[in-house]
Amino acid sequence: MDAVVKKLLRESGQTFAEEAGITLKDQPAALFKLLVLANLLSARISADIAVSAARELFAAGGGTARGMSRLSWQDRVDALGRGHYVRYDESTASRLGETAEIVQDKYKGDLRRLAIESGRDPKKAAELLQEFPGIGPTGVDIFFREAQAIWPWLRPHIDDQVKKGAERLGLPTDAGELAEKVPGKDLARFTAALVRVAHDKKLAEQLKAA
């Protein structure tokens, strides 16, 4: 493993799910939390604020589809406000309520059913994910980057943001070559770190100087 890759994983290799307090497992609550996080991170808002808002929603009881449904719209707005997710709080509160209803109605509260319904085909899974309000191609990338830690059939998920980070560090931008830099189990951490590099030139310079 390259020295820069080792340093990257050591210093910035925390997934966004971990940052939001999600212990990612192939289980209903963890997968729903990841969907919520992907929705929040999709907006034009800082990752730190999105993560903070996710933590507040989960603390308020919105860590499962049923729990999110039980929160009132105002409860969701208030939780988003506590996380300083204020520009999109009202529309996001509505979207998360709709998302919770879809998860319950279509997937019986369990997003593992999405994996089954898609036949574990990434393209089909992407189409299904985009049925949730607020989840477009960006949200799919966010969800897939993190979920590849527990759904190996998504590997390697290397999107444009990951490639931008790799380019800044002088790493290959070909998905296959880049994925070979780390074991499969570390791909989610690796891609999360590269996304941070893509958004932080100073971090890139620090890593290259190592």
Residue 31: the pLDDT is 98
Q: How large is the average pLDDT for residues 94-110?
A: 98
Left if phi > 0, otherwise alpha if psi is -120 to 50, otherwise beta: which for 208? alpha
Q: What percentage of the chain carries pLDDT values higher than 90?
A: 88
Query: Taking every pair of C-alpha atoms in the chain, what is the biggest distance, in angstroms?
Result: 51
Residue 210: the pLDDT is 62
CA 159 to chain centre: 13
Left if phi > 0, otherwise alpha if psi is -120 to 50, otherwise beta: which for 140? alpha
Checking if the pLDDT of 1 tops 60, the result is no
pLDDT one-digit tens code per residue, 42-98: 998 999 999 999 999 999 999 999 999 999 999 999 999 999 998 888 999 999 999
Q: How large is the average pLDDT for residues 163-192?
A: 94
Give the 3-state secondary structure percentages of the chain, helix then strand then coil, rounded to 5.
70, 0, 30
Query: In this structure, what is the dihedral angle of CA atoms 79, 64, 136, 156, given to the nearest 10 degrees?
Result: 120
Q: How large is the average pLDDT for residues 130-144?
A: 97
Among 2-6, 48-52, 112-116, 178-182, the least confident range: 2-6
pLDDT one-digit tens code per residue, 140-161: 999 999 999 999 999 999 999 9
Average pLDDT, the chain: 95
